Amino acid sequence: MGLARWRPLLLDIGVAALALAATLAILAARGFGTPAPAARHLDVLGVALAVVSAAPLAFRRRQPAVAYTISSLATLALLRLGYPLDAPVSTIIAAYAMAVAYSGELWMRRWPALTGVTLFVPAVAVTYASIGVDVWDIATELLAWMAVFAGVWVAGDRNRLRGLRLAEMEAYARRLEADAERERHLVAAHERTRIARDLHDSAGHAINVILVQAGAARLLQERNPSGARQAIETIEAVARDTIGDLDRLVRALRGNDGDIPADPGALDDLITRHRISGLAITADLPGSAAPLPRSVAWAAYRILQEALTNAARHGRGSADVAVRFHDHQVEIKVANPVASAALADTGGHGIIGMRERATLLGGTLDVGVAQGTFRLHAVLPHGGG
């Protein structure tokens, strides 16, 4: 965290150091090519002015106008004193920082910055003329400098625009991610609402059974004690299942995940209805199974119902179904060919609802498309034995 905070400053200091090194190298070599006889040798004053021209680059991001002004004045001083600075490296970098900072500003800030960069080469011509150099003899070099500064301004402007586009793309991506997350929360909330409604029906049914069995036990307690005991045992079993369902629902709603369905349907009837609607289903179902907690049975029903609905909507008219009731879990496998992987997106609302149901029960739901076939594998644990 600390290094990331200081990285831009360290980078700017590195750029300033490289600019200083390049400037000193040019001055020590007395310019490019054959040194002019009148060129001044590098001395302490030349080193000091080179430092002054390069040092402001360390804060060019925060104060680009100040950095450019100091660097350009130090460069003009070097030229005025006769130092052979054939390439104003530091001033070029400072001009680039000016373009990045001000090329997109309002005209009252953009034009002064552009004017300052544009007038540098004419100022160099005046400086050379002041020490007796014929400007026409160096016109080619001055034109090259003008081209460099114009290109630097354009490059800085393009870099600014590129930064704006990247920032807009990042903001757009964040908005998309936030919208997707909000949509997932809305779907999950809708699913929990439906879950609560399902459990309400289940609990109502359980209470009705308890009331009927309690009345039977009261009537039979004297003339048919065994029947009364059986009624009480039924009450105990129904109450235990319902308490388990209520406990799961409370934990799900508090933890903002999972679900508690109820009122399980018959898987055979579900498959038959989809066959009648035109879906060719190959089913591998057990002939019988041990009783399941209502929440697990209804979750299995809902998951298979959603999987077959997806197969009918997005598949090619067929599906393979396999359901296994193990000692401690229910396993559901559904496979159906799809026309496009995009139609079987694992982020769809139906998938979210199925995953909510499986997660509540401590189970898993894996979905995916491979070789044109959509596959669903759900595992729902329970406390049976």
Model confidence over 129-140: pLDDT tens digits? 888 888 888 888
Residue in this structure with the two tokens 């360390």, named with its chain if needed: 58
Tally the domains of the chain.
Answer: 3
Percent of the chain with pLDDT over 90: 18
Domain presence at residue 176: no
Across the range 87-99, mean pLDDT stands at 90
Name the strands in the sheet holding 329-337, side by side, starting at the edge strand that comes first in the sequence.
Answer: 280-284, 318-325, 329-337, 373-381, 364-370
246 and 190 in one domain? yes
19 and 129 in one domain? yes
Among 255, 281, 308, give the residue marking a domain's end: 255
CB contact set of 245 (below 8 Å; sequence gap of 6+):
199, 202, 203, 260, 262, 293, 294, 295
Q: What is the pLDDT of residues 309-368, one digit of tens each?
A: 888 778 888 899 998 888 888 899 999 988 765 555 544 567 877 888 888 888 999 998
State the pTM of this model. 0.47
Measured distance CA(212)–CA(194) in Å, rounded = 27
Task: Reduce the DSSP state of residue 379 to 3 states and report it.
Answer: strand
64 and 10 in one domain? yes
287 and 242 in one domain? no
pLDDT at residue 237 tops 70? no
User: What's the domain range around 233?
Assistant: 181-255
CB atoms within 10 A of CB 356: 23
* Band of residue 261 on the pLDDT scale cut at 50, 70, 90: very low
Count the helix, strand and coil residues of the chain and give each as a percent rounded to the nearest 5. Answer: 70, 10, 20
Q: What is the pLDDT of residues 179-226, one digit of tens each?
A: 888 887 777 677 667 666 666 655 665 676 676 667 777 777 777 777
What is the pLDDT, as a whole number, of residue 302? 80
Domain presence at residue 161: no
70 and 41 in one domain? yes
CB 25 within 8 A of CB 68: no
328 and 373 in one domain? yes
250 and 336 in one domain? no
